[in-house]
Structure 1
Amino acid sequence: MIVLGLVVGSFLNVVIYRLPRETSIVSPASHCPACKRRLKPLDMIPVISYIVFKGRCRYCSAPIGWRYPAMEALTAVVFVAAFLVAGWSFLLVKYLFIGSLLLAVAFIDLEHYIIPDSLNIVLAAGGAVLTLLARDITLVQAVAGGAVVGGTLLLLGLLFQGGMGGGDIKLGAALGLALGWPLAPLGLVLGSLVGGISGLILMAAGLKGRRDAVPFGPFLALGAFLAVLWGERIIRWYVGIYL
């Protein structure tokens, strides 16, 4: 899982860089953005190449952003965590698929404040197919998850102009369909809590003002991942308080 995660993370770096720029994620081959030199396999070994070449291009010495090794390492962590939850199953494939897309969404939203429609469409379509294979949720649960999460974000967007972008709403609906009830709504709650706390910290540190935009996609992605890892335990704990 670690090696697979590192390799997928390397590909996600390409998606994160090219998709917002509306260029093909297939061609041209990977190259240095500064000198345009085509990269060789030795230049693209996940994490290791970054360390060996001290975070710089081997040909022109242009600095390479920290995001590249961070994404590769983070994807490996997500893959291992998903395996510990689902084991060898179709559910594992589903969680790896969702986790990969959410990582791409989170980093694109952080950098560009957008969530490409193409990622939301792939998440919804791929999630539906893998749900049929994994059989972890029913059709009713999928529709309920999509309606609750997408509907809640749509309502917030209507009530608070500019408070919720269209990409966030579409992501919520797609994620709701993929994870279903009750994990998707729980992911929304967890993501909102983390986002709210993070916003307060940023304002207290003077890094953000009350009217400054903060991308919600990364928090929704994190909330969904936390729900996948510990959702059932959290729900049992919460229900146990009132029973």
Structure 2
Amino acid sequence: MKKIIHCANTRGYANHGWLKSHHTFSFASYYDPERIHFGALRVLNDDQVKGGMGFGAHPHDNMEIVSIVLDGSLEHRDNTGKQEVIRKNDIQVMSAGTGVVHSEFNASKTDDVSFLQIWVIPNERNVTPRYDQQTFDPAGRENRLQVLISPDKSALWLHQDAWFSLGKFDAGKTLDITPKFQGAGSYLFVLSGELNVAGEVLHTRDAIGLSDYDSATIEVIKPAEFLLIDVPMLQ
């Protein structure tokens, strides 16, 4: 088993006043040659945007982008005329493909919005841009994993063999995880609480990447919520 530990206080950080952003992987002005990606997982940004503020129109191409709102609401607009509000328990996926221009603004003028923006390297380039969004019942992740994104399209999907799952577990619970397929790795990001994952104790906003493993046990030390991402281990 290979392990990569990313503690919360080792992430890159940018404070722009209206935006506070923690970068698990190299992004913008934060660069660490040891933290470029974990397999096909390229970006995991933990963002907080003040009321009435946001990201103006900017382009993307050939990237799969997942937005997970943790608190508040985020307004999305793009050059196709699409306009959506992403709220807590909503997941949005965007395949940038041949190119899109979009903006993301806090939908509230007063309250902060907190969200994760995650980029996944696609398995096919120059696809037709697409968007999808779904609301997930939080009861579906109580003491179990709730699949948000899957290649079998049972939920949302990406142009990649990637799975995203959320779990919210009581203290004392345990579960075992296994790779989705040969050559896959698992990346676990702790949203809150305390876990022991494969013998490593993790706290809020810590993360662990597992590869070359057959199975691993997650022990919940304190009530915890976490995001589990399974992706191919690209070179």
Please give the range of the TM-score, normalised by the shorter of the 2 chains: under 0.3
Q: TM-score, normalised by structure 1?
A: 0.22
Structure 1 or 2, whichever has the larger Rg, is 1
More contact order relative to length (CA 8 Å, sep ≥ 6): 2
The structure with the largest strand share of the pair is 2
The structure with the largest helix share of the pair is 1
